[in-house]
């Protein structure tokens, strides 16, 4: 069973990429599960359309879990697997961890509780899965959101970023988390996925290429701006379901295949020069290096190179 984590700054397009990867693997006949680790609980929306599902934390609140330990719930079968696992596009199993009630509790702690419940319920074994995809908020790599890294739930991590400095900044923080936990047997970085988001990204991939090289990783895929993505998400679908013959669908299929064939995810070989396709421990950048990238982006912006695209930036 492959376990893959998709990290990145909020709004960078993690869920778009993760859900389309899940759909691509399902199209290949693989048994796929996608776990949304974001308090907004909308990670799996494109796989289930208009169907609303209860999050793990919502189910636990209804059953007054505050009075019980997770182990008590499992042993007493107060929570059934079917209450937290829901079927979506072509049998993709969708789970949303959810978050605490607004103003109460910690969302990161919620991820810890939710993943603990899934393990104790034997969810991974019950469904004989081929691939599990975690979609994880990466603005703050706290103990909860770092759970898949720390516990090595995901064997490999892919970071989504654009050429926007704050998304690169968030990506660097994620690298710090990977670097910290990898020494204890945690997850490794499989690569960087570049996602076009706005005016800065048009014909300006250089900051992402430079960042990838400096941390010792590689750019594993590029997702262009596409109106098909916008149209598909309005109706709660992936582009593979909405327009399977489109160019953007082919690109997601290619990205899914590239990640699937990146099989050296548990090997760190610092003596082998040909390690570009191997998952590695990244070397998070120092403040000085980040400042240089920020200055490069500032110079590009001041030159007005992206001005013509300001009106055409599509969300994905």
Q: Please spell the DSSP secondary structure of 293-307, one letter per residue.
A: HHHHHHHHHHTTTTG
Give the whole-number percent of the chain exceeding pLDDT 70.
77
Q: What is the pLDDT of residue 12?
A: 93
- Does the annotation mark 245 as catalytic? no
Indicate which residue of 27, 38, 135, 139 is catalytic: 139
Report which listed range, 151-155, 237-241, 260-264, is most confident.
237-241
**Mean of per-residue pLDDT scores for the chain:** 83
Q: 108 CB contacts (<8 Å, ≥6 apart)? A: 140, 142, 143, 144, 145, 146, 147
Q: What is the mean pLDDT of residues 152-172?
A: 90
Q: What is the pLDDT of residue 271?
A: 32
- Does the annotation mark 40 as catalytic? yes
Q: What is the pLDDT of residue 233?
A: 96
Q: What secondary structure does DSSP assign to 115-134, as a single string?
A: HHHHHHHTHHHHTT-SEEEE
Domain segments of the chain: what residues? 2-309
Sign of CA dihedral 223, 226, 230, 231: negative
Sign of CA dihedral 17, 18, 21, 22: negative
Report which listed range, 78-82, 181-185, 237-241, is most confident.
237-241
d(CA 35, CA 18): 10
pTM: 0.87
- Does the annotation mark 14 as catalytic? yes
Residue with tokens 């690569």: 191
Q: For residues 63 and 79, is the Cβ–Cβ distance under 8 A?
A: yes
Q: Is the model's pLDDT at 234 over the cut of 80?
A: yes
User: Please, which pLDDT band fits residue 174 given cuts at 50, 70 and 90?
Assistant: very high
pLDDT, tens digit (0-9, with 9 covering 90-100), for 58-113: 888 887 655 545 555 555 457 889 999 999 999 999 999 987 666 665 666 777 88
Indicate which residue of 40, 63, 120, 176 is catalytic: 40
Indicate which residue of 9, 237, 278, 280 is catalytic: 9
Q: What is the pLDDT of residue 39?
A: 84
- Does the annotation mark 9 as catalytic? yes
Q: What is the pLDDT of residue 135?
A: 93
pLDDT, tens digit (0-9, with 9 covering 90-100), for 259-307: 999 865 443 333 333 334 567 899 999 999 999 999 999 988 888 654 4
Q: Is the model's pLDDT at 200 over the cut of 90?
A: no
Query: Domain 2-309, what fold?
Result: Rossmann fold (3.40.50)
Higher local confidence (pLDDT), 13 or 105:
13
């Amino acid at each position: 069973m492959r376990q893959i984590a998709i990290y990145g700054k909020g709004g960078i397009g993690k869920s778009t990429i993760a859900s389309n990867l899940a759909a691509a693997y399902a199209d290949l006949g693989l048994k796929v599960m996608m776990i949304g680790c974001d308090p907004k609980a909308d990670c799996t929306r494109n796989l289930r359309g208009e169907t609303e599902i209860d999050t793990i934390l919502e189910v636990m609140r209804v059953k007054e879990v505050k009075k019980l330990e997770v182990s008590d719930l499992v042993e007493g079968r107060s929570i059934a697997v079917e209450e937290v696992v829901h079927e979506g596009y072509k049998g993709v199993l969708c789970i949303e961890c959810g978050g605490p009630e607004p103003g109460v509790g910690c969302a990161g702690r919620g991820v810890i509780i939710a993943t603990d419940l899934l393990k104790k319920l034997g969810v991974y074994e019950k469904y004989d899965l081929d691939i599990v995809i975690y979609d994880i908020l990466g603005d703050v790599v706290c103990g909860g959101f770092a759970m898949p890294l720390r516990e090595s739930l995901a064997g490999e991590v892919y970071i989504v970023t654009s050429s926007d400095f704050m998304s690169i900044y968030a990506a660097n923080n994620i690298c710090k988390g990977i670097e910290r936990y990898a020494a204890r047997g945690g997850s490794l970085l499989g690569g960087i996925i570049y996602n076009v988001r706005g005016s800065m990204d048009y014909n300006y991939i250089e900051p992402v290429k430079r960042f990838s090289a400096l941390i010792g990783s590689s750019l594993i895929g590029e997702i262009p701006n596409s109106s098909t993505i916008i149209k598909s998400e309005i109706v709660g679908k992936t582009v593979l379901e909405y327009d399977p013959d489109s160019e953007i669908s082919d690109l997601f299929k290619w990205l899914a295949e590239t990640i699937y064939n990146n099989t050296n995810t548990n090997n760190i070989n610092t003596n082998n020069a040909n390690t570009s396709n191997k998952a590695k421990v990244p070397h998070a950048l120092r403040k000085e290096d980040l400042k240089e990238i920020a200055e490069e982006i500032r110079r590009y912006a001041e030159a007005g190179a992206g001005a013509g695209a300001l009106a055409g930036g599509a969300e994905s």
